[in-house]
Chain A
Amino acid sequence: MHYTRKGDMYLGTLTRAVRNVSRRKMRTFLVIIALGFSMAIMISIPAGVISNQEATQSLSENYKNTINNMQEEINKTSTLIEVSASSRRGMFSGAPSGMPFPRFGQEETFINATVVDEISTIVGVKDVVPFLEVSSEETTEETMSTPRGSFTISRPVYTITGVCLKSTLIDSYSILATNVIDGRNLVEGDSGVIVISLNLSDYYGVYVGDKIEVYDETFKVVGIYNSTTRTVHMNITDVQRITDNVGNVSRLDVYAQDISYVDNIAEVIEAAYPELYVTTYEDRLANLERTQEMYETTLATSESTLSQMQTVAFQEISIAIVATSLIVLFMMLYTVRERTKEIGILKAIGFSNWNVMNQFMLEGILLSTMAGAVGAVIGIIGAPVISSLLLPSASSVNLNPFSTSRGFSGQTVNFGTALSQSVTATADPQTLLLGFGAMLLLGAIGSLYPAWRAARTSPMEALRYE
């Protein structure tokens, strides 16, 4: 019967919606803030869950890589028998993270160098590589917190590792520091020179070419290698001399001619030197299995925490969704009631039910659009705080990291670093967009009933309303 210009119609409806929303400034402001916080919750919580999911995944990958690396190293050293004067010196002995030092209160014990020659004569032994590991004289005081209280302990600043610099051994086995990033490594015949770890270089501020005093003797730094431990590598004879340990070693790496000799050699050493600790390929494999078990327990705990977090997140997002819809619903119901007369006027001058419904729907959506923008800003700024307040504490996923320190070629392998760092929730653009879309949808849903009620109002009844 009649044509309409819909674009113009919507423009007029939008203009009126904007004027209506802006003429009640305080109410609009309060509703936008309330809805904005709802939206911020809707985007911060998923952001928190996603960040923790990523952290757990990263933890899992980190563990898997470490286990694979360990497996590879163990496989490479199938002919190696480790002999040490104390139990901690063995590979994968389960020493606490980042502690390349003797346990506190434990005296450093040594093996007489003559043992090296004796072990060399055992049938099947190819080479014996001696090491001498001694703690630095200099100590540092550290405060440790335990459930029973905190106390101060003093611990050595670094460890000195003396290595045998025979070229036949250096060339055949991985006994020197790896990952030299500056200067050079030790070579046969070196004396009075050292290679230090990056951590120690940073600690003392010494670089290649600088001199450093170790046990009252001056050494020249010839190389720096990348490591998080504080270690000094030097010729074993230098260590023996400066620490008055001539003729002593602390650890031996015994290499068999092939794997068939390993058990026999280990048995002979254990029989001849019951005070020494002997570790073979099989022991190391058993250690690896224990490590894997720990890894699986850690991962299971973190996954269970994540699942708990997801449940809580689901509940909180549901509450936020219901709250948003209710805020819009009550606000729009109030608006419709307040503007009943206006509805009557619009209908009396020829507005259809659909036009009236559009008017109120658009106002609800306009409010939620503004709230969405405010919520996005609050979400971007406040996601870390909101998610940490509303989700189960991220520290519950922050499991005790465990590590093996040593051992291969002076490298330290750390576990559990992924979640030992605090997880920071950041709302990514996709989450923001989804949150914004959800806000518009909830605005539309919340306005639907009030707008329908407005449209159904009888014009005559509405005009009488005061």
Chain B
Amino acid sequence: MSNVVLETENLEKVYAIGRRKINALSDVNLRVNKGDFAAIMGPSGSGKTTLLNLLGCLDRPTNGKVILDDVDVTRVPEKTLWKFRRHKIGFIFQTFNLLPYLSAIENVELPMEGTKKPKSERRKRAHELLEIVGLSTRKEHKPPRLSAGEQQRVAIARALANNPTILLADEPTGNLDVKTSFEIVRLLSKLNIIQGTTIVMVTHDSNVASRAGRILFLSDGKLLNREKKGMHLLKGDLTCPHCHKPIQPDHAFCPRCGKKVE
């Protein structure tokens, strides 16, 4: 079975503004393997968000293919595309985009609505996710009462609700201060390493991008032919859930307490 979860072939997006045509993306060929944490870097207007919207089935390309889990989603009719957005993709936005009149836990439950999970199971899953992002004590709080970092954590939990194939993050730290940005990227790294979540993150911040496993560069709508490896993990990114001491990703058991690391 192929290890590729997301692939684009000659992806092109042209916007027409009056008679003018603007090539937002041209000939983008991207391949994301299962378990990858890829950061796409580029200056403003380079087409990062356009690319992410195409990958996330929020927009249609002018030409080319987006293959998600072996399905060319550009050929999927608009009226059934929601199934891919619900079950295959988790979206994280720069502005969090939580529903202000729902509590944190209700926001996390929202994507699970209409799935085969019963209400009690959805609530349990939402609770687990809030625990993973470190917000179990604030689950009943509504977004306006949460800090920006906390709101982004809720948004990450929401994106993970349906166990998506891939997590797409559009400038997830764009609205956060340096310290909170670091915490959020560390959270994404942990998810990638511990849970094996495949992540594609768009950012213009090189510090943030450096925490990914792969760093790709987009310029004027084209994916540059140079790819860097990120630092991926910093000391303290991974800790034992039992004794909270630092561990390495390849550790199956904690070297300090000897307990199994999930």
Cross-chain contact B85 with A347 (CB below 8 angstroms)? yes
Output the least CB separation between B157 and chain A (Å). Answer: 12
Q: Is there an interface contact between B56 and A348, defined as CB atoms closer than 8 Å? A: yes
Binary flags per residue of B107-126, CB closer than 8 Å to A gives 1, else 0: 00111011111110010000
Task: Give B residues with C-beta under 8 Å from A.
Answer: 53, 56, 58-59, 79, 82-83, 85-87, 89, 91, 93, 97-99, 101-102, 109-111, 113-119, 122, 158-159, 162
Are A5 and B58 also in contact (CB < 8 A) when A348-B91, A350-B87 are? no
Q: Is there an interface contact between B82 and A347, defined as CB atoms closer than 8 Å?
A: yes
The distance in angstroms between the C-alpha atoms of A348 and B92, with both chains bound, is 10
Interface segment, one of A15-23, A111-119, A250-258:
A15-23
Given known contacts A19-B101, A349-B110, is B85 in contact with A5 (CB within 8 Å)? Answer: no
Determine the residue in chain A with the shortest Cβ distance to B97. A345
From A3, which residue of chain B is reached at the shortest CB distance? B116
Q: Among the listed B58, B102, B116, B118, which residue makes an inter-chain contact with A348, where contact means beta carbons less than 8 Å apart? A: B58
List of B residues within 8 angstroms of A19 by Cβ: 101-102
Inter-subunit contact A2/B102 (CB<8 Å): no
Which residue of the partner chain, among A1, A346, A463, contacts B58 with CB atoms under 8 Å? A463
In the complex, the answer to whether B53 meets A460 with C-beta atoms within 8 Å is yes
Q: Complex: how many Å from CA A463 to CA B93? A: 10
Q: Which residues of A contact B158 (CB under 8 A)?
A: 349
Given A349-B85, A353-B82, are A9 and B58 also a contact pair (CB < 8 Å)? no
B residues in contact with A283, CB < 8 Å: none
Cα(A414)–Cα(B58), bound, Å: 81
Cα distance A458–B87 when bound, in Å? 19
A4 at the interface (CB under 8 A from B): yes
Q: How many residues of A contact B (CB 8 A)?
A: 31
Whether A349 lies near B111 (C-beta < 8 A) is yes
- A350–B97 touching, CB < 8 Å: no
Give the secondary structure class of A's interface. Answer: helix
Give the residue of B82, B93, B102 whose beta carbon is less than 8 angstroms from that of A350.
B82
Given contacts A349-B85, A352-B82, A463-B93, contact A8 B114 (CB under 8 A): yes
- A353 pairs with B113, CB closer than 8 A: no
Q: Complex formed: what's the CA distance from A355 to B111 in Å?
A: 12
Separation of A2 and B115 alpha carbons in the complex (Å): 7
Say which residue of A5, A20, A342, A348 sits within 8 Å of B114 (CB atoms): A5
* CA A20 to CA B100, docked complex, whole Å: 10
B119 touches A8 (CB 8 A): yes
Kindly list chain B residues whose C-beta atoms are within 8 Å of the C-beta of A347. 58, 82, 85
CA distance A460 to B24 in the complex (A): 15
The residues of B that contact A349 with a CB separation of less than 8 Å are 85-86, 91, 110-111, 158-159
| Supplied contacts A4-B115, A350-B162, A463-B97, 4 more A-B pairs, CB within 8 Å | A350-B87, A351-B86, A351-B114, A458-B59
* A459 part of interface (Cβ distance < 8 Å): yes
A334: min CB distance to chain B, Å: 17
Interface assignment of A96: CB less than 8 Å from any CB of chain B: no
A12 at the interface (CB under 8 A from B): yes
Q: Are A459 and B58 in touch, CB under 8 angstroms? A: yes
- When distances are taken between beta carbons in the complex, the residues of chain B under 8 Å from A23 are 101
| Chain B residues positioned under 8 Å from A9 (CB to CB) | 113-114
How far, in whole Å, are A350 and B158 apart by their CA atoms in the complex?
11
A341 beta carbon closer than 8 Å to chain B? yes
Determine which residue in A8, A11, A348 has the highest number of CB atoms from chain B within 10 A of its CB, and name it.
A348
Q: Which residue of A lies closest to B116 (CB)?
A: A3
Q: Residue on A with the closest CB to B82?
A: A352
**Chain A residue with the shortest CB-CB distance to B110:** A349
Q: Which residue of the partner chain A has the closest CB to B78?
A: A353
A8 to B56, CA, bound (A): 26
* CA A79 to CA B97, docked complex, whole Å: 100
Distance of A290 Cα from B254 Cα, bound (Å):
115
- In the complex, which residue of chain B has the Cβ closest to the Cβ of A9? B114
Instruction: List 9 A-B pairs, minimum CB-CB distance, nearest first.
Output: A350-B86, A352-B82, A3-B116, A9-B114, A349-B111, A350-B85, A460-B58, A12-B113, A4-B114
Residue contact B97 to A5, C-beta cutoff 8 Å: no
Q: How far is the CA of A345 from the CA of B79 in the complex (A)?
A: 17
Which residues does chain A contribute within 8 Å of B117, judged by CB atoms? 5
Contacts of B122 in A (CB 8 A): 8
Scoring B59, B97, B102, B122 by chain A CB atoms within 10 A of each residue's CB, the highest score goes to B97
Min CB distance, B142 to chain A, in Å?
10
Return chain B residues, CB-CB under 8 Å to A351.
82, 86, 114
A5 x B86 contact (CB < 8 A): no
* Distance from A340 Cβ to chain B, minimum over Cβ atoms (Å): 12
Choose one: A8, A12, A350, A353; the contact of B118 (CB below 8 Å). A8
Residues A5 and B102 in contact in the complex (CB < 8 Å), given A348-B58, A348-B85, A463-B58: no
On whether the beta carbons of A2 and B56 are closer than 8 Å, the reply is: no
Contact status B83-A2, CB under 8 Å? yes
Q: Which B residues touch A355, using CB under 8 A?
A: 82, 114
Verify A341–B97 contact, CB threshold 8 A: yes
Complex interface residues of chain A between 404 and 422 (CB less than 8 A to chain B): none
Nearest chain-B residue to A344 (Cβ)?
A: B97
User: Given the complex, which residues of A lie within 8 Å of B59, measured CB to CB?
Assistant: 458, 460
Known: A12-B113, A16-B102, A345-B99. A2 touches B82 (CB 8 A): no
A4 & B101 in contact (Cβ 8 Å cutoff): no
| Cβ distance B105 to chain A, nearest Cβ, rounded Å | 13
Do A350 and B111 have beta carbons less than 8 Å apart?
A: yes
B-chain residues with CB within 8 Å of residue A350 when the two chains form the complex = 82-83, 85-87, 89, 111, 162
